[in-house]
Structure formats: structure tokens, C-alpha cells
Amino acid sequence: MGAVDAIWVSIAAACATLAAIHAHVVLNRPSATAHLAFAVLSASVAVIGLLELDMLLAESPAEFGRRLWWYQWPVWTGVVALVFFVWRHLRAGRRWLGWTVIVLRTLTVVANALSDPNVNYREITELVPATMFGDSVVVAVGRPGLWLPLAHLSLLALIAFVADATLTLWRERRRDSSLLLAACLLMFVVTATGVVVVSFWGLVRIPPLVTLLFVPIVLAMGAELSRELVRAAAVSAELVIKDGELRESRRRLELAADAANAGLWGIERATGSLWATPRAIHMLGLEPSGPHRIEDVLQAVHQDDRDRMRAALGEANQDGTLHTLEYRVPGPDGSVRWFVYSGSASDSRAGGFDGITGVSLDITQRRKSEADALLYRSEMERLSRLATLNELSGALAHEINQPLATIMSNAEAAQGMLERSRPDLDELRAMLHDIVIADERAGAVIQRMRALLGRRGLDPMVIECAALLRGVLSFMRTELISRSVQVHLDVPDSALKVEVDRVAMEQVLINLLSNACEAMADLEPEERRIVLSACEEQGRVRIRVEDHGRGLPVPPEQVFQSFYTTKREGLGLGLAISRSIVQSHGGRLIARNRDGGGAGFIIDLPSMRPESGR
């Protein structure tokens, strides 16, 4: 094998290897169009090199002409690949210029297919011997083909296209490897065009050298793309490390969540599919195997909490804010477990999880403790009332026993005296006077007892309305949820304060909220809504409790009468006592019917005194 054979075969093998490498890149990453264009260009140069070698060693004009006919096809694929490489990798070059190059080169191939022996020669008259790299080669001599100007016009269009791309990169100040590569491409295209023109028009007898001219540009393009491959490999290695760190971080997070008896889960926005830790799957009562979707989660939730859960997830998906919701999950044995969910929509702009993520905590034991505490408090209140009633009844009996005895004895004596034929009127008057005195004494005892009960000993303190109302809602949370009642709290941002006995005022609010819940018991769960608000109007603080129940009787003021009640088991004292408590704070408790249906109660309290810190 001579030097020419070794050089051309080596070039063809190297280009074929580069084509295979970048074709493999494309197979693994179909979007890498620049690598695809370079793979096609390298493969084209490999075929051009082998055909040029056959032409350099041809033994007859016919053999040379036939090889030159086949030569046009890899030249066409190489030119098209070069245009696409400039578009995709360098991101330059006018579209219409590139398509002009492709169209002209395609017409050249068509003309070549219809020409004999090829588009370059109308006739090859002889092969002239020449020497290259110490080996004997041949140079064709003949008459230029009829369509040869079309071929050379396509090359001139290619020069214009690459020059335009180079100038664009220069204007955009992209003076990096892209500009250098564009300049090399321009130099190659100009040189190759010059060699082809002087050779095929017979101006200079030069052997086919296009392969040698392709070598520098293929190496430059390969080096440019190879740097990308190296960077991609580095990024891939870094991703492997980051992926390992992410898995370890996720494992630690799951361990921490399990230790806290918490379950992590999320719902993908596009598909609605569920991702969850094993503990979260167990909490929701779902099967460990198989994919799950958002409907599976909703079906696992108690039917009375299902709509609230769906609404909370929808709001979190839309506004991205943190949402907290308590819900129930019934078990297969009929038991019910309580959970609290906190979550929000994830920010997917950084390539993260696109959907809703959150954590669920099992609060069954806490809810049980709250229920037990509430039951214990109710029982203690009942026992306290019984003890108070027992003490009051004993004290009252002791205090009025003597006046009643005096009244009884005088009344019996008066009856006996009236049976006489001539009763002593003066003595009767004295007896009746004693009865009046005893009655007044009994009334005074009762009034003293009432006064004693009225002087409970208020302990006023300055407190923010928001804290007061939120405290009441926190205390009644279990009752509100069990009754499926939603409370909308509306408190101004400013620190609105009142000076009240907190325990007494909380008792008033609890009584009003409980009455509102009972008034809406016949409504559907989604209609059971209470508005609890506070505002300042004309220098006074007004707290409103408004429901959507059956409303109040007409006139509404009669509900404050002692022993007035619409409940089968009620005593009719709650609202009367509540009004008394509000009045002891210098305020008013007002009842009215709402225009849209339901009842409204207003606690009207005086503003704080200046010395209180207003």
C-alpha cells in the first residue's frame, strides 16, 4: 500500500469512526440535531475519500467518470449536513440562503443522474499521469459538462451562506469557539470551491483533493462537539452524584417523617397520579402495590370530609399557598382515625416536582384527648352546678324558714280567730302586719341571694379581638367539625382590642356559636356556615355571630327572656345569662334576623379607656 492509499483510507476510517460516535449520541439523545448533522457530514467525507482514492488510481477514463458520477451523492449529503450544522449548532445563517444552497445542490444531483459520464464532464478524453506523495496518480482531462455551472453556482451559494453566518456571529459579539469554527468553515468552502473550479474547467491540472480539504474542518467540528460531549459527561457524572445525594436525603427525610409518625405524599398536576411514602399509603388505607391517583385519595377520606379535601387541594393547586386541613379516614373495622394535612403546590420552574406536596400527621390520639377533656369539663360543670344548686337550696331554705314559719303560724291563728263570733280586729291587724313583715323579710333574703350570685367578681383584662375569637374557635374546633359547620373568621389587620373578663366573654361566644350550630342542624353540610367577625364602629367594638339557620322569632328580643326556649331539652337561660354578662361589661347584646335568612347576634362593647392603652 502506497502513501496515497494509506492517507485516504486513514482519513475515511477516521471520519467513519467519528460518524459512528456521534450517531450513537443521536440514538441516546434524539434532540441532538447538531450531532446528527456532523455524523452525516463525517460519513459523507468517508465515502468521498474512498471514491477519490478510486479516481486517483483509475485505469481508464470510463472508470474515472463512473466514480465521479457516484461522487456527487456524498457531496450532496455533505453539503446539506453542513447547512444544518450551521443552523443547529452555530445558530446563524439566513434560512433562505441555506435553502437556496440545498435546492441548487439537489438540482446538481438530478443533472448528474441524467448526465453521461457525469455532471462535471461532457467527455473525459484522457487520464494524465501525476505524482502525489511519491505515488503515481492520474488527473482527468476532458470537456466540461453542460450543467457544471449549476454545480459551481451551488458552491458559490454555500460560500455566501457560511459568510453570512460568520458575519452574524461577529455582529452578535459571539467571539468564542463558534466564531472560530464559522471562520474555518468559510475558509474551507472558499478553498474547496477554488480547487474544484480551476480543476474541472481545465485551468490547472490538479488531482481530486476535496478529502484533504475536508480533514481540517471535520477535525475542527469534531473538536467543538467533543467539548460538548466532555461537558455532558461531566454533567452526567455530577448528576449521578447528585442523584445519590438526593436518594440519601430522601431516605433520611422519610426516616424523620416515620419517626414523627408523618406521611409524605404528593399529587402530580398533569396526570393526577399519587406519590407517597409507605406510611402515607398506610394512613390513607390504600393498597401498597399498584399506582394510585387523586380519586383514590378522595375515596379513602370520610365522605363528610371529602368535599372539603377536594376544595383544599384545588385551592392549593391554584394559589400555591400553604393549606391545612383536618380530615377523617374510616377503617375496615368501622373505626375512624383523624389526620391533619398541610401542603401547597410545588414550584416546578426549577425542574422539580410539578404538583401538590404535603405531609399528613395522625392526630387521632390528640382528638381523643380533646374529646375526653371536653367530656371531663362538661361533667365538672354539671357537678359544679349541682353542688351550687345544693348549697343555694340549703342556704335559701335556712334563710327563709323562719319568715315562712312566722307567716304560717300567724295565718293559722288568724283563721282560728275568724271562727269566733266576735274576733278581735286589733289582734287580727297585728297578725296581718306580722305576715307582711315576714313576707318582706323572705323577699329581702331572696334579693340578697340574687345579688350575691350577680357579684361573680369580674377580672377584666386587655385582649386583642383576634386572639379572643381564635381562642374560642380553637376550643370549639371538635364540635364544629363534628357538626360539619364551617366558620369564616373576619378580623381586621389592625390590633383591635377590648377590655373584658376573658372567661366570661368566651362563655358568651361559645353559647352563641353553639346556638348557631343547633339552628343549622337541619341544613345540608355545605350550607352550615357561620360568619364570626369583629370591627370598630363609631368608637365601639362590635363582635358579630351570624348563621344561616332558621332565624329568630318576632320580635327577636324575646329570646333574652328567662326560661324562653325553642329546644326540647333547653332551660331558656343561656341567652339571658349571656346578655347579663355583656351588660356587666357596660355593653349590649343585640339579636336580629338577617336579610338573607338566619340569625345574627351583635356584642356591642365600649371602647377601651385611654388609660388602658388605647
| Residue 247 in domain | no
What is the reported pTM? 0.45
Question: pLDDT value at position 610?
Answer: 46
- Comparing 235-244, 283-292, 387-396, 414-423, the range with the smallest average pLDDT is 387-396
Residue 350 has pLDDT above 50, yes or no: no
If one compares 379 and 141, the residue with the highest pLDDT of the two is: 141
Is residue 487 packed enough to be buried (19+ CB in 10 Å), middle (13-18) or exposed (0-12)? buried
| CA–CA distance, 399 with 393 (Å, rounded to integer) | 10
Residue 496 has pLDDT above 70, yes or no: yes
Tell me the torsion sign for CA atoms 527, 532, 536, 540: positive
91-110 tens-digit pLDDT:
888 999 999 999 999 999 99
Residue 137 has pLDDT above 80, yes or no: yes
pLDDT band at 243 (very low <50, low <70, confident <90, very high): low
| CA–CA distance, 604 with 586 (Å, rounded to integer) | 9
550 in helix, strand or coil?
coil
CATH code of residue 487: 3.30.565.10
| Residue 245 in domain | no
Query: Same domain, yes or no, for 67 and 201?
Result: yes
| CA–CA distance, 399 with 374 (Å, rounded to integer) | 37
Is residue 74 packed enough to be buried (19+ CB in 10 Å), middle (13-18) or exposed (0-12)? buried
The residue from 333, 362, 391 where one domain ends is 362
Residue 346 has pLDDT above 70, yes or no: no
CATH code of residue 393: 1.20.120
Summarize the confidence of residues 481-507 as an average pLDDT: 82
Query: Same domain, yes or no, for 135 and 216?
Result: yes
Residue pair 344/358 in contact (Cβ under 8 Å)? The answer is yes
Query: Same domain, yes or no, for 290 and 427?
Result: no
End-to-end CA distance of the chain: 106
**Domain that residue 428 falls in:** 368-454
Task: Please give the share of the chain, as a percent, with pLDDT higher than 90.
Answer: 8
CATH code of residue 278: 3.30.450.20
pLDDT band at 347 (very low <50, low <70, confident <90, very high): low
Question: pLDDT value at position 432?
Answer: 83
pLDDT band at 545 (very low <50, low <70, confident <90, very high): very high
| Residue 57 in domain | yes
Query: Same domain, yes or no, for 49 and 175?
Result: yes
The residue from 218, 233, 248 where one domain ends is 233
Query: Same domain, yes or no, for 219 and 310?
Result: no
Cite the beta strand spans of 314-419 per DSSP E. Answer: 323-330, 336-345, 355-362
Query: Same domain, yes or no, for 177 and 197?
Result: yes
Summarize the confidence of residues 53-62 as an average pLDDT: 89
428-477 tens-digit pLDDT:
788 787 788 767 767 765 765 565 455 445 678 888 888 888 888 876 77
Query: Same domain, yes or no, for 497 and 544?
Result: yes
pLDDT band at 228 (very low <50, low <70, confident <90, very high): low
Q: Which amino acid is at 545?
A: V
Residue 70 has pLDDT above 90, yes or no: yes
Question: pLDDT value at position 211?
Answer: 77
Summarize the confidence of residues 545-556 as an average pLDDT: 85
Chain centroid to CA 465: 33
| CA–CA distance, 217 with 59 (Å, rounded to integer) | 31
Query: Same domain, yes or no, for 265 and 393?
Result: no
| Residue 502 in domain | yes
| Residue 579 in domain | yes
Please state whether beta strands 588-593 and 599-606 pair in parallel, antiparallel, or not at all (unpaired): antiparallel
Query: Same domain, yes or no, for 212 and 65?
Result: yes
Query: Same domain, yes or no, for 30 and 179?
Result: yes
Question: pLDDT value at position 38?
Answer: 80
| Residue 9 in domain | yes
All residues at 6 or more sequence positions from 111 whose CB lies less than 8 Å from its CB, including other chains: 119, 147, 150, 151
Question: pLDDT value at position 77?
Answer: 93
| CA–CA distance, 72 with 63 (Å, rounded to integer) | 15
298-322 tens-digit pLDDT:
888 888 888 888 887 777 666 666 6
| Residue 54 in domain | yes
- Comparing 112-126, 245-259, 354-368, 403-417, the range with the smallest average pLDDT is 245-259
The residue from 362, 385, 406 where one domain ends is 362
The total number of structural domains that make up the chain: 4
Query: Same domain, yes or no, for 205 and 336?
Result: no
Question: pLDDT value at position 96?
Answer: 93
- Comparing 85-99, 147-161, 176-190, 240-254, the range with the smallest average pLDDT is 240-254
Query: Same domain, yes or no, for 571 and 529?
Result: yes
- Comparing 40-44, 142-146, 446-450, 514-518, the range with the smallest average pLDDT is 446-450
| Residue 534 in domain | yes
* Averaged confidence pLDDT in the chain: 78
Summarize the confidence of residues 587-593 as an average pLDDT: 89
